[in-house]
Amino acid sequence: MPHGNHETEIKLAVEHAGAGRRVLRAAGFRVSRKRVFESNIVFDNQAGALRQGGLLLRVRQAGRVRSVTYKGPTTGSKHKSREELEIGITDARIMALIFERLGFHPAFRYDKYRTEFRPLGSGLAVLDETPIGVFLELEGSDSWIDRMARKLNFSEQDYITKSYAALYLDWCREKGITPGDMVFQKP
């Protein structure tokens, strides 16, 4: 959960969604937002200046909730930490058109199913089911993240601080696939 306009998080790879749910429930987490499909579009200019600067401009539609997010560059540490500014919008399609009129184009699309979990106290855990695997994301203070990761039987060596775009590119290289968008295949 962002602290003001700042987020600190890690990802943890899990074998499958059921395993992720089990480990979270065993650690006292409860579903705070039911599983929802998310469609994300990352925008950039033709030169890729935002990506090169470690910045993100995203339009997200998660069920009926639509938002625009700006993320600043990450700070170097064992956790991914960066400025995050997010605002709700009423029409993701119109927002995308506004960005395109300003010279930004869809640079990467990614899908996921997300379930949010909360423990007693602060922090947030989400279970993300993506086309390239399932990940737990812990978001909170540095100390909370470390404490919860240990409680979930993960070590610092398990921490993933890469974005889904970077994980997707790694996955494509490993599989020998030409990268495109990280979206679920239509049946």
- How sure is the predictor about 117, in pLDDT bands with cuts at 50, 70 and 90? very high
Instruction: Please give the model's pTM, rounded to 2 decimal places.
Output: 0.92
| Type of residue numbered 162 | K
* Cα–Cα distance for residue pair 170/155, rounded to 1 Å: 22
Mean pLDDT of all residues belonging to the chain: 94
Q: What is the pLDDT of residue 1?
A: 42
| pLDDT the model gives residue 187 | 64
* pLDDT beyond 90 at 76: no
What architecture is the 6-175 domain classified under in CATH? Beta Barrel (2.40)
In the chain, where the domains are located: 6-175
Helices (H) and strands (E) in the chain, counts: 5, 8
Give per-residue pLDDT as tens, 18-73.
999 999 999 999 999 999 999 999 999 999 999 999 999 999 999 999 999 999 99
Label residues 25-62 b or e (16+ Cβ within 10 Å = b). eeeebeeeeeeeebbbbbbbeeeeebbeeeebbbbbbb
